A and B are shown apart, each in its own frame.
Chain A
Amino acid sequence: DAGVIQSPRHEVTEMGQEVTLRCKPISGHNSLFWYRQTMMRGLELLIYFNNNVPIDDSGMPEDRFSAKMPNASFSTLKIQPSEPRDSAVYFCASSDRGREKLFFGSGTQLSVL
Protein backbone atom coordinates (compact mmCIF):
# COMPACT_ATOMS: atom_id res chain seq x y z
CA ASP A 1 0.00 0.00 0.00
CA ALA A 2 1.30 3.48 -0.83
CA GLY A 3 0.17 4.88 2.49
CA VAL A 4 -1.78 8.08 2.99
CA ILE A 5 -1.31 10.31 -0.04
CA GLN A 6 -1.57 14.07 0.16
CA SER A 7 -1.35 16.70 -2.54
CA PRO A 8 0.10 19.12 -3.16
CA ARG A 9 3.31 18.76 -1.13
CA HIS A 10 3.85 22.51 -1.20
CA GLU A 11 1.41 25.34 -1.85
CA VAL A 12 2.28 29.02 -2.03
CA THR A 13 -0.61 31.39 -2.48
CA GLU A 14 -1.60 34.97 -1.90
CA MET A 15 -3.86 36.17 0.83
CA GLY A 16 -7.50 35.98 -0.20
CA GLN A 17 -7.07 33.06 -2.57
CA GLU A 18 -8.85 29.74 -2.18
CA VAL A 19 -6.70 26.77 -1.21
CA THR A 20 -7.71 23.12 -1.57
CA LEU A 21 -5.72 20.34 0.03
CA ARG A 22 -6.33 16.74 -0.96
CA CYS A 23 -5.98 13.41 0.78
CA LYS A 24 -6.32 9.76 -0.15
CA PRO A 25 -6.43 7.52 2.92
CA ILE A 26 -5.06 4.01 3.11
CA SER A 27 -7.45 1.61 1.41
CA GLY A 28 -9.76 -0.04 3.94
CA HIS A 29 -9.27 2.58 6.63
CA ASN A 30 -12.58 3.96 7.85
CA SER A 31 -11.40 7.00 9.81
CA LEU A 32 -9.74 10.10 8.40
CA PHE A 33 -8.25 13.04 10.25
CA TRP A 34 -7.00 16.50 9.28
CA TYR A 35 -4.29 18.04 11.49
CA ARG A 36 -2.51 21.35 11.34
CA GLN A 37 1.06 21.69 12.65
CA THR A 38 2.72 24.94 13.62
CA MET A 39 5.65 25.75 15.88
CA MET A 40 3.45 27.70 18.25
CA ARG A 41 0.49 25.31 18.57
CA GLY A 42 1.96 21.92 17.70
CA LEU A 43 -0.34 19.30 16.17
CA GLU A 44 -3.96 20.39 16.23
CA LEU A 45 -6.86 18.20 15.17
CA LEU A 46 -9.09 20.15 12.81
CA ILE A 47 -11.73 17.58 11.91
CA TYR A 48 -12.20 13.84 11.63
CA PHE A 49 -14.50 11.53 9.71
CA ASN A 50 -15.74 8.02 10.42
CA ASN A 51 -17.13 6.14 7.42
CA ASN A 52 -17.10 9.39 5.42
CA VAL A 53 -19.25 11.21 8.00
CA PRO A 54 -17.80 14.23 9.84
CA ILE A 55 -17.79 13.39 13.55
CA ASP A 56 -16.04 16.31 15.20
CA ASP A 57 -15.16 19.59 13.55
CA SER A 58 -14.65 21.54 16.76
CA GLY A 59 -11.03 22.12 15.82
CA MET A 60 -11.82 23.94 12.60
CA PRO A 61 -10.64 27.46 13.38
CA GLU A 62 -13.15 29.50 11.41
CA ASP A 63 -15.86 29.36 8.82
CA ARG A 64 -13.14 29.94 6.24
CA PHE A 65 -12.20 26.29 6.72
CA SER A 66 -14.30 23.45 5.36
CA ALA A 67 -13.69 19.74 4.80
CA LYS A 68 -15.46 17.09 2.80
CA MET A 69 -15.20 13.37 2.31
CA PRO A 70 -17.37 12.43 -0.66
CA ASN A 71 -16.24 8.79 -0.61
CA ALA A 72 -14.03 6.40 1.30
CA SER A 73 -10.94 7.16 -0.78
CA PHE A 74 -10.87 10.95 -0.95
CA SER A 75 -11.08 14.00 1.26
CA THR A 76 -10.48 17.72 0.80
CA LEU A 77 -9.71 20.56 3.17
CA LYS A 78 -10.54 23.96 1.76
CA ILE A 79 -9.58 27.40 3.02
CA GLN A 80 -11.45 30.32 1.50
CA PRO A 81 -10.29 33.04 1.72
CA SER A 82 -6.78 32.18 2.91
CA GLU A 83 -4.84 34.39 5.33
CA PRO A 84 -1.13 34.53 6.24
CA ARG A 85 -1.87 33.04 9.67
CA ASP A 86 -3.09 29.88 7.92
CA SER A 87 0.52 29.13 6.94
CA ALA A 88 1.36 25.74 8.42
CA VAL A 89 1.89 22.09 7.56
CA TYR A 90 -1.42 20.30 7.09
CA PHE A 91 -1.40 16.56 7.68
CA CYS A 92 -4.01 14.04 6.76
CA ALA A 93 -4.07 10.74 8.66
CA SER A 94 -6.13 7.59 8.51
CA SER A 95 -6.90 4.69 10.81
CA ASP A 96 -8.52 1.30 10.52
CA ARG A 97 -9.46 0.82 14.18
CA GLY A 98 -11.64 3.79 14.89
CA ARG A 99 -9.15 6.20 16.36
CA GLU A 100 -6.09 4.09 17.09
CA LYS A 101 -2.84 3.74 15.18
CA LEU A 102 -2.89 6.80 12.98
CA PHE A 103 -0.93 6.72 9.75
CA PHE A 104 0.05 10.16 8.53
CA GLY A 105 0.51 11.45 5.03
CA SER A 106 3.57 13.46 4.03
CA GLY A 107 1.78 16.72 4.68
CA THR A 108 1.15 19.87 2.68
CA GLN A 109 3.37 22.85 3.46
CA LEU A 110 1.09 25.87 2.97
CA SER A 111 2.48 29.38 2.73
CA VAL A 112 0.04 32.27 2.42
CA LEU A 113 1.77 35.50 1.46
Chain B
Amino acid sequence: TQLLEQSPQFLSIQEGENLTVYCNSSSVFSSLQWYRQEPGEGPVLLVTVVTGGEVKKLKRLTFQFGDARKDSSLHITAAQPGDTGLYLCAGGLNDYKLSFGAGTTVTVRA
Protein backbone atom coordinates (compact mmCIF):
# COMPACT_ATOMS: atom_id res chain seq x y z
CA THR B 1 0.00 0.00 0.00
CA GLN B 2 1.37 3.36 -1.06
CA LEU B 3 1.50 6.09 1.57
CA LEU B 4 0.86 8.59 -1.19
CA GLU B 5 -1.66 7.84 -3.92
CA GLN B 6 -1.32 9.68 -7.19
CA SER B 7 -3.94 10.02 -9.88
CA PRO B 8 -4.28 9.62 -12.71
CA GLN B 9 -1.55 7.12 -13.45
CA PHE B 10 -1.27 8.25 -17.08
CA LEU B 11 -2.31 11.47 -18.78
CA SER B 12 -1.98 12.28 -22.47
CA ILE B 13 -3.04 15.68 -23.71
CA GLN B 14 -2.60 18.02 -26.65
CA GLU B 15 -0.26 20.96 -26.49
CA GLY B 16 -2.06 24.01 -25.11
CA GLU B 17 -4.46 22.06 -22.90
CA ASN B 18 -4.54 22.21 -19.12
CA LEU B 19 -4.01 19.28 -16.77
CA THR B 20 -4.19 18.49 -13.07
CA VAL B 21 -2.41 15.75 -11.15
CA TYR B 22 -3.49 14.72 -7.67
CA CYS B 23 -1.61 13.37 -4.69
CA ASN B 24 -3.60 12.03 -1.72
CA SER B 25 -2.87 10.41 1.61
CA SER B 26 -4.58 9.59 4.87
CA SER B 27 -1.51 10.88 6.70
CA VAL B 28 -0.64 14.44 7.64
CA PHE B 29 2.65 15.74 6.30
CA SER B 30 4.80 18.56 7.58
CA SER B 31 5.76 19.25 3.99
CA LEU B 32 5.21 17.77 0.59
CA GLN B 33 7.38 17.90 -2.49
CA TRP B 34 6.75 17.57 -6.21
CA TYR B 35 9.41 16.18 -8.51
CA ARG B 36 9.60 15.66 -12.27
CA GLN B 37 11.58 12.82 -13.79
CA GLU B 38 12.52 12.45 -17.43
CA PRO B 39 13.59 9.14 -18.99
CA GLY B 40 17.13 8.15 -18.07
CA GLU B 41 17.47 10.84 -15.44
CA GLY B 42 16.92 11.24 -11.73
CA PRO B 43 13.93 13.11 -10.30
CA VAL B 44 14.30 16.89 -10.13
CA LEU B 45 12.69 18.88 -7.34
CA LEU B 46 10.05 21.32 -8.54
CA VAL B 47 8.59 22.70 -5.32
CA THR B 48 8.07 22.21 -1.60
CA VAL B 49 4.76 23.12 0.06
CA VAL B 50 4.64 23.50 3.79
CA THR B 51 1.57 25.38 4.98
CA GLY B 52 -1.96 23.97 4.74
CA GLY B 53 -3.84 25.77 1.99
CA GLU B 54 -0.63 27.07 0.46
CA VAL B 55 -0.55 27.79 -3.26
CA LYS B 56 2.73 28.14 -5.12
CA LYS B 57 3.20 29.11 -8.74
CA LEU B 58 6.15 28.24 -10.89
CA LYS B 59 5.56 29.79 -14.33
CA ARG B 60 2.73 27.67 -15.80
CA LEU B 61 2.72 25.21 -12.88
CA THR B 62 0.49 25.78 -9.85
CA PHE B 63 0.92 23.65 -6.73
CA GLN B 64 -1.61 23.51 -3.93
CA PHE B 65 -1.33 21.92 -0.48
CA GLY B 66 -4.58 20.84 1.10
CA ASP B 67 -5.84 22.62 4.21
CA ALA B 68 -5.35 19.45 6.27
CA ARG B 69 -1.90 18.83 4.76
CA LYS B 70 -2.93 15.40 3.54
CA ASP B 71 -3.20 16.09 -0.17
CA SER B 72 -1.79 18.19 -2.94
CA SER B 73 -2.39 18.99 -6.57
CA LEU B 74 -0.31 20.12 -9.50
CA HIS B 75 -1.99 22.09 -12.26
CA ILE B 76 -0.27 22.86 -15.55
CA THR B 77 -1.70 25.60 -17.73
CA ALA B 78 -1.23 25.54 -21.50
CA ALA B 79 0.93 22.43 -21.41
CA GLN B 80 3.90 22.18 -23.74
CA PRO B 81 5.79 19.12 -25.01
CA GLY B 82 8.61 20.05 -22.64
CA ASP B 83 6.27 19.32 -19.73
CA THR B 84 6.30 15.65 -20.67
CA GLY B 85 7.62 13.48 -17.87
CA LEU B 86 6.86 11.50 -14.74
CA TYR B 87 5.50 13.69 -11.97
CA LEU B 88 6.11 12.41 -8.46
CA CYS B 89 4.82 13.70 -5.17
CA ALA B 90 6.76 12.94 -2.02
CA GLY B 91 6.24 13.38 1.67
CA GLY B 92 7.79 12.27 4.90
CA LEU B 93 6.26 11.39 8.23
CA ASN B 94 9.60 12.23 9.80
CA ASP B 95 12.73 13.89 8.58
CA TYR B 96 14.30 10.75 7.24
CA LYS B 97 12.02 8.41 5.35
CA LEU B 98 10.74 10.31 2.37
CA SER B 99 8.07 8.32 0.57
CA PHE B 100 7.18 8.80 -3.05
CA GLY B 101 3.92 8.27 -4.83
CA ALA B 102 3.86 5.93 -7.82
CA GLY B 103 3.83 8.93 -10.14
CA THR B 104 1.77 10.28 -13.00
CA THR B 105 3.17 9.91 -16.50
CA VAL B 106 2.28 13.01 -18.47
CA THR B 107 2.60 13.10 -22.25
CA VAL B 108 2.01 16.37 -24.08
CA ARG B 109 1.52 15.88 -27.82
CA ALA B 110 2.65 18.61 -30.21
Instruction: Report if A and B associate in a common complex.
Output: no
Binding site for B on A (CB under 8 A): none
